[in-house]
Amino acid sequence: MLSEWEKLAREAATKNEAYESYLLRLTEAEVTTRTANAIASRIRAAGFPVVKDLDTFDFSAVASLPKQKVLEMSRGAWVEEHSNCCLIGNAGTGKTHLAIALGLAVCRLGRRVKFVTAAGLVTQLEEAQQQHRLERVLSQLDRVDLLVIDELGYLSFSRSGAELLFQVFADRYERRSVLVTSNLAFSEWGSVFQGDRMTAALLDRLTHRCEIFEMNGESYRFRESMKTKKHKDPKKAN
């Protein structure tokens, strides 16, 4: 309002605009700026490793992925409903890309999002526990509407680490959303969580209300690098 009022007031004077109308335009400008600032700060707070959006995602590269369903999820109703999402598939198939893009879309709706890797989260929780500030870290996580946990399955956890991660899932169940990406099929999650009982209990909660996308196929990274190689050296590629 401070930066716009003089300009808008001059315009209003030349157009002989009613005071109410001038005031409306001025407050609208303020609200627009505040909304944009809030979204920018939500995106910063989410801690995405890079910014990847849906418009740069090539759906034709992942035949198993239902494009319409993914686009619908970018409208965020699932986060309002506290349901979850799992992206399961081998390396390089765009799971992290899609997880960031969906997280960004949810930020743009004004929601709080946090992006972590599974290993990073477990380390953070273990450190917090050692320093007697676990409650604080858990309550910070609790304020987040969508927790994106990337790369579950590349590293396995200690028993206590797995229990801490389990606690996060259990706390969020039916109250807040989780998006998990993993290179492991659900049947293999026991190897990460140590113990079939905990794995079963976790999967039960996670998948109760959950959109599951299988993203298996050839690595996009690998395919792109092959294309570049062919381009540089057409003889070798044949």
- CB 115, CB 49: distance < 8 Å: yes
- Contacting residues toward ligand ADP, per CB under 6 A: 52, 56-58, 61-62, 91-97, 220-221
Q: Does 182 bind Mg ion (CB under 5 A)?
A: no
Question: What CA–CA distance (Å, rounded) separates 197 from 132?
Answer: 27
Question: What is the distance in angstroms between the CA of the first residue and the CA of the last residue of the chain?
Answer: 64
Query: Nearer Cβ to ligand ADP, position 5 or 59?
Result: 59
Residue labelled with tokens 């700060």: 41
Residue labelled with tokens 């996670």: 206
Query: Nearer Cβ to ligand ADP, position 56 or 130?
Result: 56
Instruction: Report the nearest approach of ligand ADP to the CB of residue 57 (Å).
Output: 5
Residue labelled with tokens 């309550």: 139
Query: Nearer Cβ to Mg ion, position 96 or 177?
Result: 96
- CB 216, CB 64: distance < 8 Å: yes
Question: Among 93, 96, 117, 199, which residue sits at the site for Mg ion (rule: CB under 5 A)?
Answer: 96
| Contacted entry of Mg ion, ligand ADP, none for residue 93, CB cut-off 5 to 8 Å set by kind | ligand ADP
Instruction: Report the nearest approach of Mg ion to the CB of residue 182 (Å).
Output: 10
Question: What CA–CA distance (Å, rounded) separates 207 from 184?
Answer: 15
| Contacted entry of Mg ion, ligand ADP, none for residue 184, CB cut-off 5 to 8 Å set by kind | none
Residue nearest to ligand ADP (CB): 94
Phi, psi of 169 (to 5 degrees): -60, -45
- CB 192, CB 162: distance < 8 Å: yes
Q: Does 183 bind Mg ion (CB under 5 A)?
A: no
| Contacted entry of ligand ADP, Mg ion, none for residue 20, CB cut-off 5 to 8 Å set by kind | none
